[in-house]
């Protein structure tokens, strides 16, 4: 009985060659990344709060940090999630020898202190973005609000009364859009608002008519440059347009 000849399968031949080709391709990339993509420069962009060292340590693996291709691939599959104040960090290459780390930081428009003396940072919508022991120097201090640490949640509204939330939104919107120079904001227990700008204390009263009061403040404040005293806007309304400035003599 004759043995049946094994039929030649071109598919098996091509499959083996395809697998070998893929392996050689990835081996070539690995060799290329080791010998060609040797990084000698790291550039961090977009960071104001975080230091370059903090960004580098959080984003790169120390053992392989001079291998640019590895840095990019690692960052793609292991994005930074637990670095304070970092919203997102993108790692890319600018040429074969430079790695660029682009940082998007969380909004820290203003802050309050909670009952554990931590800084609770918020954005323009009064949502909590970060809780930290670190002070961000250019964030606006807001004092006089009682905030429980246990009730603070990132991404949620600041846990204070609704009228305070609305006042914060109006304050920040107008301070930014009208470029009003403010050193700090103070909420009193009775709901009245005071802002300090240099040597001028501004009494804004309660939430009523706050936007119009801030519009007037933006116009008046430059006229008080170099002066010291209290500007009274707490009683300002459509029916009472009187604005009083009680001047004080500067010492020295």
- Identify the band that residue 128 occupies on the pLDDT scale cut at 50, 70 and 90: very high
Tokens of 84: 């304070």
Average pLDDT over residues 78-90: 92
Distance CA 126, CA 4 (A): 82
Distance CA 205, CA 236 (A): 9
Average pLDDT over residues 106-112: 97
- pTM value? 0.82
- Identify the band that residue 195 occupies on the pLDDT scale cut at 50, 70 and 90: very high
* pLDDT tens string 130-158: 999 999 999 999 999 999 999 999 999 99
Of 125, 127, 87, 122, the C-alpha closest to 108 is 122
Q: What pLDDT score was predicted for residue 50?
A: 96
Helices (H), the chain: 10-35, 52-59, 68-77, 162-177, 210-220
Partnered with residue 99 across adjacent β-strands are 42, 93
Average pLDDT over residues 1-5: 52
């Amino acid at each position: 009985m004759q043995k049946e000849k094994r039929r030649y399968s071109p598919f098996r031949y091509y499959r083996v060659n395809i697998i070998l080709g893929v392996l050689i391709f990835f081996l070539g990339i690995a060799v290329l990344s080791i010998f060609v993509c040797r990084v000698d420069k790291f550039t961090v962009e977009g960071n104001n709060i975080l230091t370059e060292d903090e960004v580098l340590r959080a984003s790169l693996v120390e053992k392989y940090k001079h291998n640019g291709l590895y840095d990019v691939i690692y960052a793609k599959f292991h994005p930074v999630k637990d670095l304070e104040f970092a919203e997102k960090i993108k790692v890319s290459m600018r040429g074969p020898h430079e790695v660029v780390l682009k940082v998007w930081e969380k909004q820290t428009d203003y802050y309050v202190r909670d009952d554990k003396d931590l800084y609770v940072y918020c954005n323009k919508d009064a949502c909590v973005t970060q809780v930290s022991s670190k002070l961000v120097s250019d964030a606006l201090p807001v004092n006089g609000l009682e905030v429980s640490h246990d009730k603070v949640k990132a991404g949620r509204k600041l846990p204070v009364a609704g009228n305070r939330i609305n006042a914060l939104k109006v304050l920040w919107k107008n301070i930014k859009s009208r470029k009003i120079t403010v050193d700090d904001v103070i909420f009193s227990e009775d709901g009245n608002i005071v802002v300090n700008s240099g040597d001028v204390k501004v009494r804004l009263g309660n939430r009523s008519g706050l936007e119009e009061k801030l519009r007037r403040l933006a116009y008046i404040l430059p006229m008080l440059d170099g002066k010291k005293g209290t500007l009274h806007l707490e009683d300002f309304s459509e029916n009472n347009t009187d604005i009083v400035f009680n001047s004080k003599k500067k010492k020295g």
